[in-house]
Amino acid sequence: MEDHDTTPVPDDKAAMPETPGSSPLQTPDELAEQKKQYEELNDRYLRLAADFDNYRKRTARDHETMVQHANERFAIDILEIADNLERALKSDDAHLRTGVEQIHQLLCGILARQGITPIDALKKSFDPEEHEAVAHIPSNEAEGTVVDVVSPGYRMHKKLIRYAKVAVSKGNNSHDEVAVEKP
């Protein structure tokens, strides 16, 4: 069985609209011009891609340098604390507590300058988004109240960076206990 195409095909080539590049017979000058345009566009594309790659690498390097510089400033502040701790350890026992208190104040100031603040948890209602319960103990406080802070939690610019490890009250259970008589 033969397949016959019934679509009319114009015999006259002039009847078809001419589009750039549709002519099968182009002059060598036209081909050379198109090849030149292609090479120019390809060269521009390759240069743009290389420029973008260089930009990406440069911004990554700049970001890394900025992070290292920030860490360096923080390290210098912490080294001041280390120096003061060494001095406190060399002092006599009478001045040791005063020295350690001053070092603690210095550390708190450095942390505050870096945007690091402690979470106030003591006597607050337990919040699992800020606290990590490490103990559940009986106390005179209401059930679910933080009664002891084992390790303080910290925020850095409103972002929680460490949960506060706390002991939580399970209430005063003295009235819940019922004496059981043995028969």
Q: What mean pLDDT value characterizes the chain?
A: 82
| 16-27 pLDDT, tens digit each | 555 555 556 778
The predicted structure's pLDDT at residue 78: 85
Which pLDDT value is given to residue 18? 52
Q: How far apart are CA 81 and CA 88, in angstroms?
A: 10
pLDDT the model gives residue 182:
43
